[in-house]
Amino acid sequence: MMKGFFITGTDTEVGKTCITAGLTEAFTQAGLRVAPIKPLAAGQDLLDGQWVNEDVQRLHAAQTIGMTPEQVGPLQFRAACAPHIAAALEGRSIDRAPLLAAIRASADLGQMALVEGVGGFRVPLCEGWDTADLAVDLGLPVVLVVGLRLGCINHALLTAEAVRARGLKLIAWVANTVDADMPHLTDNLAALSASLDAPCWGHVPRLENPTPAAVAAHLNHALLLTQAASSSL
């Protein structure tokens, strides 16, 4: 049985990859062998003659267990759009069984897998299968990255409701500052804390250089390790 967490977000561009990299650093500092995995990554740039995805590169740089970029990002597409659209543009398909097998193979490389979703919680992947279904297939507790900007309370509560409706456990959430000038930030955090019914693993401010170590410095290491232990990790 896979051990670890599924990282989802209130929307796209809320910092899921930065938070996943920071969690990788935090758990690695605690002595765990962590396998960060981004099963689907859409959007590649040509760098030194090779097509690369920025998020996959960030997670690959954060891991310390010798994973290859392909093990971190098993399925990558060129166009920066919804994965099922990006796949169609390349004449490729997203197949459930092979992708799940690739995720599990990468997870087996470490003691803990941090599997990052794509976009929000319900993004179509192929007919009859979306990222919520992927989370159910993996059966991992869910960590919600809340992008702190106008509308975040509604997005967070709807996502939490969708997670629980699938029979999954929302084990924690992380606040990530998307809008550095967001008004009433403290009040929004208080409302989220009162409504999400899950502990907050940290509040990450807007960072000029969001390295894994810089993100990890704003996480509650004691709390996340305690919860990891209680999840038999």
The residues annotated as belonging to the active site are: 38
68 exposed, middle or buried (CB, 10 Å; 0-12, 13-18, 19+)? exposed
β-partners of residue 124 are 130
**Strand ranges for the chain from DSSP E:** 4-9, 34-37, 40-42, 45-47, 50-52, 75-77, 112-116, 124-126, 129-130, 142-148, 170-177, 200-204
- Six token digits for residue 51: 């097509």
- 217 — phi, psi (to 5°)? -65, -20
